[in-house]
Structure 1
Amino acid sequence: MLAVFDKSIAECPEGLQSSVTGSVSALKDGLLANHFSSIHPDSVSINLASSGLMAFTTEKQNPLLPRLFGVVDDIFCLFQGQIENIPLLKQQYGLNKTANEVSIVIEAYRTLRDRGPYPAYQVLRELGGKFAFILYDGSSKTSFIAADAQGSVPFFWGIDSEGHIVFSEDKEIVEKACEKSSAPFPKGCFFTTSGGLKSYEHPANELKAMPRVDSSGQVCGATFKVDIETKRSASMPRVGSAANWSALY
């Protein structure tokens, strides 16, 4: 799976941004989309106009960590992995018997977006299993990305020369556009358009960027670790009824 988002949809965290070294634009002349389709001839690409692109393939996938794609009401979701407590989540979200992992993620997001009763970190904790997913809401032009706490699914991100963030489970795909400005996506974390990068395992703590250095001593992206010394503000900002409050957590 592949997603490239404009910085208006996914603004790069400062720690990852400071490591930009390349000169490649992932979106210019369809560079990364064409590269992805050349590797996966059966792939499907979704043009998100000025917001970016998404691409998906079922070719050469791990049967234990299958890839899924779904669209509901202009919400696009790429999912890889397996959720173990599907029956419980189907009941919780009122989904029918045919619902799968990607249906559950989309419905969980819609619950958050429409002022559901749970904060985002709690909803993600309830997804038992091995997963990484990329969600884009075309109606509000927002993104929602997450990975499980064990990092069970290989999942990488990086930033290209124009500030676009690239997400993929294929490290080579990310490095094609981001060169050394790439890194594994942090375990147990989620990323949103309005809230940036946060840990759902430790929602009260800030995240600290730790530069990654390769064997030649060059900085190549950054990893993000929970900073046990720094706590987030405990107060809840007041928001209007139409606000997406889920991003505050």
Structure 2
Amino acid sequence: MLALFEKSVAKSPEGLKSPHENGGKEGKGDLLEHFSSVNSAVVSINLGPLASMAYTTQKQNPLLPRLFAVVDDIFCLFQGHIENIAILKQQYGLNKTANEVIIVIEAYRTLRDRGPYPADQVVRDLNGKFAFILFDSSAKATFIAADADGSVPFFWGTDSEGHLVLADDVEIIKKGCGKSFAPFPKGCFFTTSKGLQSFEHPLNELKPLVRVDSQGQVCGSNYKVDAESKKDTGMPRVGSAANWSAHY
């Protein structure tokens, strides 16, 4: 799977940029074309200047299948599986035919519109092996996450035009971002409004750690939980009917 987002929708963390180069040489359109050329049965979704997504169900791990769905202008790519799917269907009032990608979309909609739980708890409630990329085109917002064990190959980086690029294929991410990439941090999620956060340790900040390749060149940083730093946990006082989307 592959996704590219404009800076206004998903700003790349500074630590992803290699000091040796400004991303790869492939532009947004070129990378999508390359993805289609090296994969078969590719489905591409062009969401205007803000975002693009692409995926294929070919050459996938049968234990970690790729799923895609669209509900009310919310587009979601999901790879992996959720073990407590029956409990989550009941929790979100979904029917028996709902699968993992539908659960993620409904979890996001509940978080965006009613916000009964903090975002870290919503992701933490997903028990399984997964990575997902969600884009809400009406709110111009992203919601991206990987499980606590990093079970699904999942990478992110910055291309030469400043797009945030995400893919499950390391060769695709290298093509688009050069050395300005890293594995997506396990146990973490990324949103447009709050950037990168840990759902395992929501009260701690994340810090970039320098990553060096086999040639000795500095690449995009790995992000790890900083056990010494704590976030400001002050919560805004808002009515129960207010839109909590700005606070996740």
Q: Which bin holds the TM-score, normalised by the shorter protein?
A: over 0.9
What is the DSSP-based 3-state SS (H/G/I as helix, E as strand, rest coil) of the residue aligned with 2:104?
helix
Tell me the amino acid that sits aligned with residue 164 of structure 1. Answer: H
Aligned to 1:2: 2
Deviations along 1:66-107, one digit per CA (max 9) or x if unpaired, are 000000000000000000000000000000010000000000
Aligned to 1:16: 16
Deviations along 1:113-168, one digit per CA (max 9) or x if unpaired, are 00221000001111000000000001111100000000000000000111101001
Aligned to 2:50: 51
Question: Offset at 1:244?
Answer: 1.0
CA distance in 2, matches of 1:219, 1:89: 42
TM-score between the two structures when normalised by the length of structure 1 = 0.95
Q: Say what the alpha-carbon RMSD is for the aligned residues.
A: 1.4
Deviations along 1:194-217, one digit per CA (max 9) or x if unpaired, are 100000000000000001011222
CA distance in 2, matches of 1:124, 1:35: 32
CA contact (8 A) 1:26 1:164 kept: no
Question: Offset at 1:11?
Answer: 0.3
Distance 1:238 1:7, change over 3 A: farther
Aligned to 2:70: 71
Aligned to 2:134: 135
CA contact (8 A) 2:190 2:196 kept: yes
TM-score between the two structures when normalised by the length of structure 2 = 0.95
CA distance in 1, matches of 2:90, 2:124: 17
CA distance in 1, matches of 2:238, 2:15: 28
**Unpaired runs of at least 5, structure 2:** none
1:103 aligns with 2:102: yes
CA distance in 2, matches of 1:9, 1:47: 15
CA distance in 1, matches of 2:219, 2:129: 26
CA distance in 2, matches of 1:205, 1:163: 27
CA distance in 1, matches of 2:19, 2:88: 39
Tell me the amino acid that sits aligned with residue 7 of structure 1. Answer: K
Identity %: 68
Listed as ranges, the matches of 1:213-224 within 5 Å are 213-224=212-223
CA distance in 2, matches of 1:220, 1:144: 24
What is the DSSP-based 3-state SS (H/G/I as helix, E as strand, rest coil) of the residue aligned with 1:42?
coil
**Unpaired runs of at least 5, structure 1:** none
